[in-house]
Amino acid sequence: MTDNKREIIENALAKSNGIFRLEPAWVARDFLPPGRRLGLKEAEYEVGERGWISERWIGSTTQADNRVGPPDEGLSYLAIEGERVTLKEAVEVAGPTILGDAYSKTHKGLGRLAKIYDFAARIPYHIHQRQADAALVGRNSKEEAYYFPEGVDVGPHPETFFGVHPTIVEQKQYDILLPYLVDWNSDLILRHSRAYLLVPGEGFHLPAGGLHGPGTALTIELQEDSDVFAMLQALVGGKIISKELLFKDVRKEDRAALGERAVLNQVDWELSGDPYFYENRHTSPQLIAETRQPGGDEYWIYYNTTRFSGKKLVVKPGQKFKSVDNGVYNILVWRGRGLYDGHAIEAGNFALDELLVPHSKATTPIWVENTGTEDLIIIKFFGPDINLKVPMIPQIKRS
């Protein structure tokens, strides 16, 4: 079976001139209503006991960790006529072909997850466990970054709560959050946090362990390859969510011994109490001077880390852009239409808006052509250690 799938993958790659077309991966959540901005038909958002389609995962090799759902939820499929092969399977059986020989020797897979999330209410205040804690339940850590695309309704709460008031960490008053977790009946835990406006065209970078409650702006997120979390806010969108979401990625023995305090022990308090959180974590697009061309420009939009990185490519109407990168990546066509190394691409057309560009193709010149009348906007997503010279925000330290 492995040899057969490798043959299917390599044949498909040969027929498509070295680039894979991908199908969208839709993910449901049952604890928040959807924002209905993903481009689906109205009836398609409702999926019974699974809840609502609230996320689209892009170029995903990660399985969604939901209470109820199909076994392949979250996994992207290669668009190969007559075959059903996930991108995860493709990387497993043809790693060197997709990742490149050198990269595949040091990295098990793509190592990142891109997604669009779309909620009508603010996501509960939560953390994603750091590696030491995630490993205790057989999972990976989840560092992440956000980009808020322009030209989209930002919803009723376009602000995100990040961290806690710095004095809580300065005075080591971590247990001030404990009663909210024990009582599990309100959203008043947010009184101990700070909210930041979500500005379209900008974003934030958040290492694992940081407390946050994302706002309702449509968000294109890039993160580590993981779906771990612990929800710390009980009342969300007018209802009390299951307390099991607090303990989802906590070992049973730690829950039995420490109760709700087990989750507080997983918080990165220094990060969460950083008085310069905005200055150290806010990301605005950074023009990439070395790739500037008459036909368009690239901008770093996911940076400040080497665990993943990402660019926004803007090609002017009727123009071409020569793209060369350091390794494998996948794309989402966000606005416009055109050709990507000869492959038709079009935003909003689920059959034409996702591609995976393997190493050998990514590292040689590719022409991106805008055949439309508006800017062609493409988001490129890269995994760990592919772009080692991304911008790093100079960190302001606590005095």
Amino acid at 59: G
Q: Are residues 183 and 322 in the same domain?
A: no
Q: DSSP string covering 129-183, please? A: --HHHHHTTT-----EEEE--TTS---S--EEEES--HHHHHTT-GGGGHHHHHH
Amino acid at 364: T
CATH number of domain containing 55: 2.60.120.10
Burial of 194 (0-12, 13-18, 19+ CB in 10 A): middle
Burial of 186 (0-12, 13-18, 19+ CB in 10 A): middle
Q: Is residue 397 in a domain?
A: no
Q: Kindly report, residue by residue over 258-298, the tens digit of the pLDDT.
A: 999 999 999 999 999 999 999 999 999 999 999 999 999 99
pTM confidence score: 0.96
Q: Is residue 393 in a domain?
A: no
Q: Are residues 96 and 114 in the same domain?
A: yes
Strand duo 203-206 + 230-231: pairing = unpaired
Q: Are residues 163 and 233 in the same domain?
A: yes
Q: Are residues 267 and 295 in the same domain?
A: no
Mean residue pLDDT of the chain comes to 97
Number of separate domains in the chain = 2
DSSP secondary structure letter of residue 372:
S
Q: Is residue 395 in a domain?
A: no
Unique residue bearing structure tokens 């002017």: 316
385 is written with which tokens?
């250690």
Supply the range of the domain harboring residue 329: 286-382
Q: Kindly report, residue by residue over 173-230, the tens digit of the pLDDT.
A: 999 999 999 999 999 999 999 999 999 999 999 999 999 999 999 999 999 999 999 9
Q: Are residues 241 and 349 in the same domain?
A: no
For residue 190, how many other CB atoms are within 10 A of its CB? Answer: 18
